[in-house]
Structure formats: C-alpha cells, structure tokens
Amino acid sequence: MIIDGPVKMPIPPPPPYTRHAAGQRPLPTPGGANPPPLSPITTVEIASTTDSPTSSNPYAAYATDLPTPTSVRGPPPPFSTLRHKTTINDLPQHVLLQIIYTIVDPDLPEEEYRWGLYWLAVSLRLVSSNWYTACMHVLRSAYLPAYVSHIRPPYSANPYPLSSPASVYAAAYSSTAGPSTPSLAEDAQRETAVLDMFIAFQVRQNVLRDESELHLEAGHEGVKDLFELMQPRARTEDLVRKYALRAGVISVGTTYSSGDRIPFRQLSVSFSQRKVGLVRTLGGRKRQVLVEIGRDRMETLESVAKRLVGELVQARELDVIR
C-alpha cells in the first residue's frame, strides 16, 4: 500500500546526554560553535519557556521530570570521611613477634633456622616500620653473641640503645615521618648501626656456607675493618654522648645549637691507634676539629671518651669553641 499524503511520525524522546536542567548551559553540539554563557535574564527566559505548556519546543513534554534550578544549585551531599583500613601491619608488636617466632623457630634444624633469619633480613623487615622493629629485635638477639665474640681488649661494646632505636630508625623511613625524625635517628645509639651491618654480613655468609661446601668461612678477617675501626669509633661516640650530656655541653634531639650546647648529631669521632679527635660537621661539608688527644694502644674507650669530654669542657670555658 502506497501513501502519497504527508505522514506525521512520532517524535522520539531526546537522548539523555542532551537533557539539561532549566537555567543551565546546554552541552555543545558536535561540529558547531559552543553556546555563549547564559546571563541571568536568559536563564529566567529559558526556565519560563521550559515550563510553559505552549512552548514550541517539541521536547518540552519530556522536560517535566528534570530537576529545578533550586535542586541543582543546592548544597553538596555529605561526603564520607576516609578511614584507614586495618591490615596485618597494624598489629601490636607482641603479636608480630609471636608470628615471627612461629615461622622462624629457634628449635628448627640449624640450616632452616639460618634461612629463616636470612628471610627476615632481606625480605620481611622491609615491609613496614612495625615489621622492621619486630624483625630487628629477633635478628639482634640471634647475632649478638657472635658480635660480642669479635670484640678484642681494650675495646668494649654496648650495641643496644638507650631507648629502642629500631622504632626510631623505622620511623625515619616511614612515609608519615615528621621533619624532626631524621635528627632523632642520628642521635640514637650509633653502635647499633655497626651491629646491623654485622648482621647483614653474617646472614649472607651463613647462607653461602649452607649452599656450598666449597665456600670458605670469612671468619674475623671478613669483618676486620668493622671491629678495628668502625666499632670502636661508634662506641667512643656513644660514650662521648653519655659523658657530655652529664657535663651539659651537648644537646640531643635538636638540629641547631641550643645556647652553649652543641647538637650531638653534628659531632663525630676521628679514631686511630695513636690519636682520637672530636669533629664537628657544619652545613654538611665544613668539618671543624674541636679537640684532639693522644691515645695509648691499650687505653680503654671509656678513658678516651672522658678525656675528650674534659678537653671539650675546657675549650668551651675558655671560649675557644663557638
């Protein structure tokens, strides 16, 4: 059947992306110019035209369910606050230690136990600051006897800190660490870092020995520099900190000088068999030798540290050091 007359087809509803609230700027037409911003007068005209039943717009009937200008411009919805999702990293320290001792049990066969300690050193302690603290507690307890066995007279050792350095060091590498955390880490017990280096060396040596019978044990020669230079120097620095705090010539936990006190983080010890000096580093590069004394080969580190602090106190009283 052929119809010659005009046929009036029903108008389909507009697509969703072309709908816009009354008084709002319509979306740009592809290939055409962007419409100019709407003025307040134009907004009123559009709103009245949209609501008018006699509008010439063929889509006016579909605009009845659109939001009004008041609802569009109303207050934003309330946003939920972001809450921290609790993970295994947030467990208390005693629970983390229980997990570690369950996996790395000292009663395991010797080879399995050494591999477990190696896994703690190279993998698990790097997960988070809490795991670092727990792992270092286990590792330091396991390797402390071997560390102390390398100490030769007249040297002494006390690698355990005044107050938990593991948490201090871990906080220094945390993403939430504050600006003062690095200075706190530098003020911690300095011999602890030497113990940690010994642990890193020893866990690897133990694994190599288990992997091959041809591996030669390094023994004391492998850590000779560690215990003949770095360990006595770090131990002397810790003793200087102890005696200088009593004398009131240094400060701990600060970055800049506080009155007549020198920040401990700026001090270091130059150590040799015949001479020991107290050095202050300013600005990261400038090094100033504060005091320097001679040393007998068999003199104890405690005696050396006391004499260094005594010389420092005298220099401060004579206003030689500023």
Across the chain, mean pLDDT equals 78
CA nearest neighbour of 124 among 137, 109, 111, 106: 137
Alpha-carbon torsion (199, 200, 206, 207), positive or negative: positive
315 or 18, higher pLDDT: 315
Following DSSP, what letter does each residue of 92-154 receive, concatenated? -HHHHHHHHHHHS-TTS-HHHHHHHHHHHHHTGGGS-HHHHHHHHHHHHHHHHHHHHHT--TT
At 69 the three-state DSSP class reads helix
Per-residue pLDDT tens for 77-119? 666 666 778 888 889 999 999 999 999 999 999 999 999 999 9
pLDDT tens profile 168-216: 444 444 444 444 444 445 567 899 999 999 999 999 999 988 888 887 7
Boundaries of every domain in the chain: 89-217, 233-322
Question: Are the C-beta atoms of residues 280 and 267 closer than 8 Å to each other?
Answer: yes
pLDDT in tens, 112-139: 999 999 999 999 999 999 999 999 999 9
66, two tokens: 């659109």
121: Cβ–Cβ under 8 A, 6 or more apart, which residues?
Answer: 135, 139, 199, 200, 203
Residue 167 near residue 184 (C-beta atoms within 8 A): no
* pLDDT tens-digit readout, 130-165: 999 999 999 999 999 999 999 988 999 999 865 544
- Does residue 280 have a pLDDT over 90? yes
Give the count of beta carbons closer than 10 Å to the beta carbon of residue 119: 16
Give the pLDDT confidence score for residue 286 in this predicted structure.
Answer: 83
Q: Which residue has the higher pLDDT, 8 or 252?
A: 252
Q: How many CA atoms lie within 13 A of 271 on its CB side?
A: 23
| Residue 241 pLDDT exceeds 90 | yes
Phi, psi of 263 (to 5 degrees): -60, 130
What lies within 8 Å, CB to CB, of 146 at 6+ separation is: 198, 202
